[in-house]
Amino acid sequence: MKNDLVERAQAALVSHAADVLLVLDADGVALRRVGLGDQSSEAVDGMVQGTPLAPRVHPEDLDAVLAAWRSVAGVEGAGAEVRVRMRRVEDPDRWQYAVVTCVGLADAGDGALAVLAAELVDGDGLKTGEVANDGFSLADAAPVGLAVYSVRHAILWANEAFLRDAEVEVGPTTAEERRGHGVLNVLEHLVASAGIGEEGLPKPVVVSMGDKSLRVQARQDPNGGHLLVSVQNITDELASIRDRARANATFRAAFDHSQAGIAIVSLQGEFVDVNPAFSNITGFEADELVGSTFAMITHPDDLDVDEEYVAELLAGTRDSYRMEKRYLRWGGGVVWVDLRVAVVKDDHGRPEHFVANVVDISERVSVEEQLRQDNVELSHRATHDHLTGLPNRLLLERHLEVLAEGYDDGVHALVCDLDRFKAINDEHGHQVGDAVLVEVAKRLRDCCRDDDLVARVGGDEFVVLARTHMNPDTAARLGERLVDAVKRRIQVGDITVDVGLSIGISPVRADIDSELALRLADQAAYEIKSQGGGALLVPC
- Per residue in 297-336, pLDDT tens? 999 999 999 999 999 999 999 999 999 999 999 988 999 9
Domain boundary among 247, 279, 303: 247
User: Where does the pLDDT of residue 384 fall: very low under 50, low under 70, confident under 90, or very high at 90 and above?
Assistant: very high
Q: Which helix (H) or strand (E) holds 480?
A: helix 472-487
Q: Which helix (H) or strand (E) holds 157?
A: strand 154-158
Give 159's Cβ-side CA count (13 Å radius): 20
Identify the CA nearest to 335 among candidates 388, 278, 266. 278
335 and 265 share a domain? yes
The CA–CA distances, whole Å, from 265 to 61, 319, 352 equal 57, 15, 10
426: in domain: yes
Identify the CA nearest to 256 among candidates 284, 281, 283, 275. 275
Is 50 exceeded by the pLDDT of residue 365? yes
76-100 tens-digit pLDDT? 767 777 777 777 656 666 667 777 7
Q: Yes or no: say if 125 and 97 are a contact pair by the CB < 8 Å rule.
A: yes
17-67 tens-digit pLDDT? 445 566 666 566 666 665 544 443 344 444 445 566 677 777 777 777 777
Residue 400's CATH number: 3.30.70.270
394 and 488 share a domain? yes
Helix axes 362-383, 393-404, angle to 10 degrees: 80
Identify the CA nearest to 125 among candidates 165, 86, 79, 155. 86
Determine the Cα angle at 77 with ends 73 and 82, to 5°: 65
pLDDT of 352: 93
438 three-class SS: helix
241 and 270 share a domain? no
136: in domain: no
Cross-strand bridge partners of residue 42: none
438: in domain: yes
Range of the domain at 100: 1-128
240-289 tens-digit pLDDT? 888 888 888 888 888 888 889 999 999 999 999 999 999 999 999 999 99
Q: How many domains in the chain?
A: 4
Q: Yes or no: say if 320 and 361 are a contact pair by the CB < 8 Å rule.
A: no
377: in domain: no
Residue 207's CATH number: 3.30.450.20
Phi-psi region of 95 (alpha: psi -120 to 50; beta: other; left: phi over 0): beta
What is the number of other CB atoms lying within 10 angstroms of the CB of residue 368? 12
253: in domain: no
Alpha helix stretches (DSSP H) within 336-429: 362-383, 393-404, 421-428
345 and 475 share a domain? no
531 and 392 share a domain? yes
Is 90 exceeded by the pLDDT of residue 447? yes
pLDDT of 111: 40
391 and 521 share a domain? yes
Q: Yes or no: say if 278 and 371 are a contact pair by the CB < 8 Å rule.
A: no
389 and 519 share a domain? yes
133: in domain: no
pLDDT of 390: 94
Q: Which helix (H) or strand (E) holds 74?
A: none
306 and 161 share a domain? no
373: in domain: no
Identify the CA nearest to 111 among candidates 182, 254, 227, 9. 9
Verdict on whether the full-model pTM lies above 0.75: no
486 Cβ neighbours under 8 A, 6+ residues apart? 416, 418, 440, 443, 444, 499, 500, 501
Is 60 exceeded by the pLDDT of residue 13? no
Give the Cα separation of 157 and 376 in Å (integer): 90
393 and 529 share a domain? yes
402: in domain: yes
pLDDT of 124: 46
136-169 tens-digit pLDDT? 455 666 678 888 888 778 888 888 888 888 888 8
Amino acid residing at 42: E
509 and 398 share a domain? yes
Amino acid residing at 294: F
221 and 288 share a domain? no
Give the Cα separation of 463 and 459 in Å (integer): 12
320 and 401 share a domain? no
Identify the CA nearest to 415 among candidates 328, 277, 282, 528. 528
